Chains A and B, each alone.
Chain A
Amino acid sequence: MTDVTVPDELWDDGQEGVLGTWFYASGEHVSAGQVIGEVLTEKVAHEIEAPASGTLTLVAAEEEPIRRGQTIARIE
């Protein structure tokens, strides 16, 4: 199982972002490197790529506040 986490370099310490849109639903198959969703901060969207291939399970919901390093989905 591989965790999908919010990348560290997206914003400065202490700031919060928001989970924007998931392009896949839980239970769907994704391939490593595919863009599976977006994270938003400061009016900018950052694409989240699948770190591995497998079945996706979403952990964070759309519009939910998120922090750096947080696990937002899992792939197994």
Chain B
Amino acid sequence: METATKTATTERLTIARAMATALAGEMRADPRVLVMGEDIAALGGVFGNTQGLLDEFGPDRVRDTPISETAFIGAAVGLASVGMRPVVELMFVDFFGVCMDAIYNLAAKNCYFSGGKAPVPMVLMTSVGGGYGDAGQHSQCLYGTFAHLPGMKVVVPSNAYDAKGLMVAAIRDPNPVIYMYHKALQGMGWLGTEKGSVVDVPSDSYTVDIGKAAIVRPGNDVTLIGFGNTLHTALKAAERLAADNIDAEVLDLRSLVPLDRDAIAASVTKTGHVVVIDDDYQSYGVSGEILAVATERCFSSLKSAPARVAFPDVPIPFSPALERPWLPNPDHVVSAVKQQLGVSR
């Protein structure tokens, strides 16, 4: 159930502000909630998503940590195991290597190992995505890496409304939740702020259901599936296709785990054509999983081979001239759709 109700007041927020607002609201409501990470206190986070928290809640609950993800993400697992509600930031997802044991061998498994007696209600928020020349260790998405491992939920907001509601839901969830926010949507201009991510957000607290996709543009001719940054790529492609009288439906996954397979199947059954857009590496990832859903659940409704637009299986280049052409863009999507529909370009 989405608990959003008609509220008198809304504010237009970036995803960064929406995340900070959600954190502040949950910290006011629940003394167990605390935030830890590198530069999240005095600086307010290098991506702006913890602004104002130190002033309101103080250094006991808003803790700057040394640059040791091994230590502080391990500490978060321990805090969650003894009843706190820690939210920790892994500044760039690319650096998961040094803390993955705490994430996938402890946080994701302890609830199962203990027969439900030792849940780990933590949120790991982490920035993803490239497009601004930050090279192979600061530009990855790694959605598939986290979504592959059972025992954790994974959410990816595409706009400020979902960012706030998913953060509140993630903090209240008894399971570990990986909250992956895309740098291009964050409201940090040096990375380019996607305008469509800045939306009016209710001032009151509300949740967005984890595991529920949303149709953000209804249509009948083809299904475009995106999430996070690629949702905006899909919307731009849909506008271009509309000019050619192709009526695209756009689905925002919002959560990767649990994946809303019913929403994918319903839309693909209706349109018969599907293109998935994913800025993570192409192979063994989210795009492949969605195409598997389309073929497993909608085989007899498909009118063309399901297609995907994803990042090629190479480390992300530093050079903008090499990086930009390979990031999914509306041109790639339009061309994939026209090929499916047998329309000449």
Contact = CB atoms under 8 A, between A and B. Distances in A.
Contacts of B189: 20-21, 38-40, 44-45
Contact of B193 (A21, A34, A43, A44): A21
A20 B193 contact: yes
B195 interface: yes
Contacts of A34: 11-12
B17 A35 contact: yes
Interface string A39-67: 11001110000000000000000000000
Contacts of B188: 45
Contacts of B193: 20-21, 38, 45
Interface string B198-215: 100000000000000000
B51 to A, nearest CB: 10
Given A20-B193, A21-B198, A23-B198, A38 B187 contact: yes
B188 to A, nearest CB: 5
A24 interface: yes
B301 to A, nearest CB: 40
Contacts of A43: 190
Contacts of B187: 38, 45
Contacts of A40: 189-190
Which range holds the interface residue count of chain B?
Answer: 10 to 19
B195 A21 contact: yes
B52 to A, nearest CB: 12
Nearest to A23: B198
A39 B190 CA distance: 10
B313 to A, nearest CB: 30
Interface string B1-40: 0000000000111100100000000000000000000000
Nearest to B9: A31
Interface in B276-317: none
Contacts of B17: 35
B318 to A, nearest CB: 16
B131 to A, nearest CB: 14
Interface in A16-32: 20-21, 23-24
Contacts of B195: 21, 23
A21 B14 CA distance: 11
A24 B12 contact: yes
A20 B340 CA distance: 37
Contacts of A24: 12
A23 to B, nearest CB: 5
A44 B198 contact: no
Nearest to A19: B189
A61 B17 CA distance: 23
B12 A44 contact: no
A43 B189 CA distance: 8
A52 B8 CA distance: 21
B78 to A, nearest CB: 35
A24 B13 CA distance: 11
Contacts of B48: 45
A35 B198 CA distance: 11
Interface of A: 20-21, 23-24, 34-35, 38-40, 43-45
Query: What 8 A-B pairs are tightest by C-beta distance, nearest first?
Result: A45-B189, A20-B189, A43-B190, A40-B189, A21-B193, A38-B189, A23-B198, A45-B188
25 contacts: A20-B189, A20-B193, A21-B189, A21-B193, A21-B195, A21-B198, A23-B12, A23-B14, A23-B195, A23-B198, A24-B12, A34-B12, A35-B14, A35-B17, A38-B189, A39-B189, A40-B189, A40-B190, A43-B190, A44-B189, A44-B190, A45-B48, A45-B187, A45-B190, A45-B193
Given A21-B195, A24-B12, A44-B189, 9 more contacts: A20-B189, A21-B189, A23-B14, A35-B14, A38-B189, A43-B190, A45-B188, A45-B189, A45-B190
